[in-house]
Structure 1
Amino acid sequence: MKHARIRYQGEVHAVTVEADNAVRLADGRLLQEQQVEWLPPATGNMFALGLNYADHAAELAFTPPTEPLAFVKSVGTYTGHNQVSWRPDNVAYMHYECELVAVIGKPARNVKREDALEYLAGYTVCNDYAIRDYLENYYRPNLRVKNRDATTPVGPWIVDVAEVPDASNLTLRTWINGELKQQGSTKDMIFDIPYLIEYLSSFMTLQPGDMIATGTPEGLADVVRGDEVVVEVEGVGRLVNRIVSEAEFFALNRQEA
């Protein structure tokens, strides 16, 4: 089953997703994908992994890490499916990152690897845009690289764990304006999801709605104003957004305020 959060006629609804991405409201009404505003399906903390794919580490000429390289993303960075993101003015390189995301379903503290999947609500997808101009350290990206408003599309929904029998063997793909630019597999992850849950919960309590963004494979490319970017994780979801300029983004926000 797929669970989503949408806004319709000014109200936020928790919905189930049916055929052709239609959503069912609690009162039984069925709405089509383009009739609703898609919101991030979870709104907890996001723990994002750097250099968690062996092929991506090789692409950047780095030795694969020996322990997870995690950083935290703020809630303000999230945006939803079919929404816009933005490229800051006067930057030279902004790239996508297609990622499988594990969503925590109940408080998790000192969880053992073999029990880790019992603590998941399910899986979703994110596109963790990065502003390469400001990157000083691949191991610990600074705030200007990864924590800008609305630069992390998340969604469209959460898929139940049972519907993804092997999260360690899924294909990830990214398209820019319909052209395939990135393709990889979660089998190349250095630290898999059970390991990451065990690792993070060993020193902190993971809460329902928290997310673990598991990193991206090789194959990054620059994106610019006007691009439509689609990221997809096999068996989980296909997440679409469009890039606008800095001026367009903040003009849209002023209109909605």
Structure 2
Amino acid sequence: MNELIKIGTNEHGEPRISGRELHTFLEVKTAYKDWFPRMTEYGFTEGEDFNPLKIARVQNEGGREVSREVIDHSMTIDMAKELCMIQRTERGKQARQYFLAVEKEWNSPEKVMARALMYANKQIASLGVTVQAQAVELEAAKPKVLFADAVAASKSSILIGALAKIIKQNGVDIGQKRLFAWLRENGFLIKSGADKNIPTQRAMEMKLFEVKEGSYIDGKGENVTTRTTKVTGKGQQYFINRFLTEKEKEEEQACSAS
């Protein structure tokens, strides 16, 4: 089928016709800015039958070509057909027959099936991207998720040395001595004195640690009281997540620098 007037599509893939192109084809003598508003008086509704749009058009002014922004309208095939009938000219009849053929082809089983397949392919492609993105996020969060689940299932407190091993198993290179030093430097354990390595008031309020007291009789027959700092389940989650977060930041900075 020869294209008498260019057929465009809207965001839903439905056919649309430019008001200005139809105006030119119909050889209407009245200026478009006056003609189109007059045509809308025949009962056409903005947003349903047509939508205004701004286009850039090159036109001759004083012997030179300049680009001007003008108003055009995107209309449905039904509206275009009616405008052709209103004109009552041979060009109007020719254009209307053309739009009827376009409409028939648009509604043919082959075209309907082609549009359905195109839509399905877009949906599948979009779903694939979404699933892939979710898979990447889940893989990145896997260590944290596994750790959180493991700790949540256990209500028992552990020694700081055991926490160091868990952190190392999650990809952070740290040992017991370095973890103790880190906890002291960051205000979680008391740095010195008789209470060295005992949780600070802040850490206890955060419920990250608990202190187990015990006693034994030494070689001199004297009773000795002991205090052992242990990491609660909440503390285990807090510290492993903090170390993993800091590791991720360091890796991101390294990637940005490279």
TM-score, length-scaled by structure 1: 0.21
Q: Larger strand proportion, structure 1 or 2? A: 1
**TM-score in terms of structure 2 length:** 0.21
More helix by share: 2
Structure number with greater CO (CA < 8 Å, separation at least 6) is 1
